[in-house]
Amino acid sequence: MIMTISASDIINKLSEMASDDYAKEARRGVIGIETLTLLGIPHSELVALAEGFGNGAPMRDIASELAAHDNYEARLLSYMLMDVSLFTEADADETARGLDSFVVREYCCRNLLSKLPFAARKALEWANSDDRVMTCSGFSLISAIVRNMPEDSPDETGLCDYSLFLLRKRASEDSGDIMKAVASCLVSIGRRSSAWLEAAIETAEEISAQPSPNAKWVASQSIGILKSSRMKRGKE
């Protein structure tokens, strides 16, 4: 007889693996999960669990169900089970809409969405969205893509150049989540290379000159880090 497994089965398994002591320790080091339940399961155990299930078409619907769960570990596990090769742009859009937690968003963009062949295009599209969560997902995805770029590689897609334009445009947004995403993305671009570091510092200074208090906050959160990176590069 063929054994079948459901999302509920996996949630029950995660509950069995939960550790209150580990959850208390982990919550002190994990930010942006205030709205999610934290069971307290080490990442290595989640990876081992995902490897046991495999991925591909049979896990597609189950992974989608887990991604919608209010459980931190279930969300991370869902991204481990999703098969990039089966992703459509509609799948990517649906995933991005669900990334309402900072740490979950960062994890998903780094480990799943950045591997999509159309990642750069979707990142810019989302970053220019009117939806707060989609906008944050876009800037987080830009950061994830940039971190994986070789330092001397050309900006063939125009990702970094257009991202700086969007960062200037969105820096004054009246949303704490977007402000944080903009500041983080600006730092990520600046860390790519010496040339992009100077471009990021120039952008931060332009943002600082905007009349919006929100824009000035974004600049204050990024320019110190960027100038510190400049000093470190000068010593190399």
Residue 37, strand partner residues: 71
Q: Specify the pLDDT at position 101.
A: 86
Q: What predicted TM-score, i.e. pTM, was given to this entire model?
A: 0.88
Angstrom distance (rounded) from CA 5 to CA 153: 44
Distance CA 56, CA 151 (A): 33
pLDDT of residue 13: 93
- Token match 């600082």: residue? 208
Does residue 28 contact residue 1 with C-beta atoms inside 8 Å?
Answer: no
Instruction: Report d(CA 141, CA 122) in Å as an integer.
Output: 9
Q: Which two tokens stand for residue 75?
A: 């969300």
Tokens read off for 11: 């949630």
3-state secondary structure string, the chain? CCCCCCHHHHHHHHHHHCCHHHHHHHHHHCCCCCCCECCCCCHHHHHHHHHHHCCCHHHHHHHHHHHCCCEHHHHHHHHHHCCHHHCCHHHHHHHHHCCCCHHHHHHHHHHCHHHCCCHHHHHHHHHCCCCHHHHHHHHHHHHHHHHCCCCCCCCCCCHHHHHHHHHHHHCCCCCHHHHHHHHHHHHHHHCCCHHHHHHHHHHHHHHHCCCCHHHHHHHHHHHHHHHHHHHHHHHC
How far CA 47 is from CA of 3, 6, 53, 122, in Å, comes to 21, 18, 10, 27
Measured from the Cβ of residue 92, the count of other Cβ atoms closer than 10 Å reads: 22
From first to last of the 236 residues of the chain, give the pLDDT tens digit: 334 788 999 999 999 999 988 888 777 666 667 678 889 999 999 999 988 887 666 678 888 899 988 889 999 999 999 988 889 999 999 999 999 888 899 999 999 999 999 999 999 999 999 999 999 999 999 999 999 887 767 776 789 999 999 999 999 999 999 999 999 999 999 998 888 999 999 999 999 999 999 999 999 999 999 999 887 776 55
What is residue 132's predicted lDDT score, i.e. its pLDDT?
Answer: 95
